[in-house]
Amino acid sequence: MRIDILTILPELIQGSFEHSIIKRATDKGLVKVYFHNIRDYSTDKHKKVDDYAFSGGAGMVMTIQPIEAAIEALTSQRKYDEIIYTSPDGETFNQQIANQYSSFENIMILCGHYKGIDQRIREHLITREISIGDYVLTGGELAAAVMADAIIRLIPGVLSDETSALSDSFQDNLLSPPVYTRPAEYKGWKVPEILLSGNTKLIDNWLHEQSLERTKKLRPDLLHGHE
């Protein structure tokens, strides 16, 4: 998989991809992540990438020329399965979208800034707009890092135990059950006896019941179809 991230602040998120599981994935060649500074594509002599909105009001808008040039340069070299714009008014990112994208070959993510980007980019070049939550960040870089992390960990070969991702929260619209490890007792706090029984069927049933119970308590909105 290849992920191209377009931003005016590449240094803000590059470090997120240089550690732990994501770094191992890139070292193995399972994913390649490229960062493109939108300013490099600006024809302005000062490499300016923002201007005032025609509608007036406070805040600046990312201009059309450098963004279009950056996207054109990349799409002229390869086909992209999705060109994403990180926006607070986009579709909410979830596990199902991450699952879908993990099978893609090429993804481009455009990070917004200021009051947003020129609407014509959104209308003519963006294929999907995605938000990571109902709040506003100073820029789309953190949202891009969150999405990329969620996608990359699902690529076959990234996790040492690929079945681990199948039991993540939200994979079946349920939260994950509680997990425990050794010692079986610590300061009088005990691991549930059923987990020590060795009975796989009973343990699986208990884990599913715990998932349902936790979801009902913490995220009842996810339970549609499980009642």
User: Residue 10 belongs to what domain range?
Assistant: 2-152
Which backbone phi and psi does 158 adopt, to 5 degrees?
-75, -50
Q: Give the per-residue pLDDT at 58.
A: 86
Q: Are residues 67 and 11 in the same domain?
A: yes
- Asked if residue 59 has pLDDT above 70, the reply is yes
Q: What is the mean pLDDT of residues 180-201?
A: 95
CA gap 176, 168 in Å, rounded: 6
* pLDDT, position 50: 95
User: How confident is the model over 87-111, as pLDDT tens digits?
Assistant: 999 999 999 999 999 999 999 999 9
Q: Do both 135 and 174 map to the same domain?
A: no
Q: Which residues is 189 bridged to in the sheet?
A: 186
Does the residue 161 lie in any domain? no
Q: What are phi and psi of 60, to 5 degrees?
A: -105, 165
CATH number at residue 205: 1.10.1270.20
Domain total in the chain: 2
pLDDT over threshold 70, residue 161: no
Residue 134: give its domain's CATH number. Answer: 3.40.1280.10
135, 185: one domain: no
Nearest 5 degrees, angle CA 158-CA 94-CA 162? 25
124 and 194: one domain?
no
- Shared-domain flag, residues 34 and 144: yes
Same domain for 64 and 18: yes
- Please, which residues bridge with residue 5 across strands? 35, 109
Q: What angle do CA 129, 20, 25 make, to 5 degrees?
A: 65
Amino acid at 150: A
Assess whether 142 and 192 both reside in one domain: no
Residues 145, 193, single domain; the answer is no
- Within the chain, where are the H helices? 20-27, 64-75, 95-101, 119-124, 141-152, 163-166, 200-218
Q: Can you give the pLDDT at residue 225?
A: 57
